[in-house]
Amino acid sequence: MSNIKEQIVVLGAGGTQGGAVAERLLAEGCAVRTIVRTEAKAEQLRQRGIDAVAGDLQNIHSLNEAFGGADKAVILLPVEYDRDKVTAYIKHVVEAARAAELKLLVINTGLRLSLDKSNTEVIEMKRELVQAVRLSGIPSIILEPTLYFENFLMPGVLSEDTLAYPVPEDQPVAWISIDETAACTVEAIKHPELAGTSIKLGGPESLTGKQLAERFSQALGRQIAFFLLPVPAFEGAVAPAIGAQNAAGLAGLYSWIGANSGQVASVGASVKLDAVPVTLSAWIKEKGIK
């Protein structure tokens, strides 16, 4: 990047995924802005050097304020499965980005998009986002990660002797870390010549459920068995924490993965990006999982 401090908006900087992107951009010397829902959260982010304001993606004025004078933006939509809300988010993001004449949008869909139209609501909402951005004429790069290692940190997934997750035991998934995804995101921001591309992101290994358990067993020094958690059981387990509607949306995604596991198996990035691969074993060690 040039010596001029670029102004980058990171929608989602208050969360784990967006926060990892924001920290990397700050380290690169960029000025980072974001919108969060509460003033208390905004103040926390200001303490980390992020220009944060309290606002809402349903309020176009909040986005106009955040995008005004910015150069580029990274878009990570909130975990939300209310179609009307998401459609409003998309409309406002595109309108504000166009009004601000942003030079580049980097969109993290948070999942791999189906090659064809699907019957899965969450995938179709993300396809709606991509289509709206592409039709806006704003230069954009789309990032489509697989599943994050950080999902293994959810309560109930890893126990003393079991790794329980709603993915097929015998079908590989190219799991990726949030940090590696953030590194790829920053690389995309630095390469506007990639505008117009959709980049599929996977980690360095494509692992079956059994292989996941083997990696955890080796790293933790005890025997871990993989258990295919039925999707309805997963939905019921996460509903108290994220709400019934969001739980149903996630359940639909995992049902799709179960039927289309080949679409989440490819490792690495489909377009070369200068990001250090993170293996599952290295991630387990880095997180200090016991």
With b for 16 or more beta-carbon neighbours within 10 A and e for fewer, the 92-121 pattern comes to bbbbbbeebebebbbbbbbbbbbeeebebb
Distance CA 196, CA 172 (A): 29
Banded pLDDT at 4 (limits 50, 70, 90): low
Q: Which of 11, 27, 156 is nearest to 75 (CA)?
A: 11
Range 26-53 average pLDDT: 96
The answer to whether the CB of 265 falls within 8 A of the CB of 168 is no
**Architecture of the domain delimited by 7-149+177-201+267-275:** 3-Layer(aba) Sandwich (3.40)
pLDDT 10s digits, 83-127: 999 999 999 999 999 999 999 999 999 999 988 888 899 999 999
pLDDT 10s digits, 13-25: 999 999 999 999 9
Read off the pTM.
0.95
Range 124-153 average pLDDT: 96
Please check the confidence at residue 1 and state whether its pLDDT lies above 60. no
Range 141-164 average pLDDT: 95
Banded pLDDT at 152 (limits 50, 70, 90): very high
Please check the confidence at residue 3 and state whether its pLDDT lies above 70. no
Banded pLDDT at 155 (limits 50, 70, 90): confident
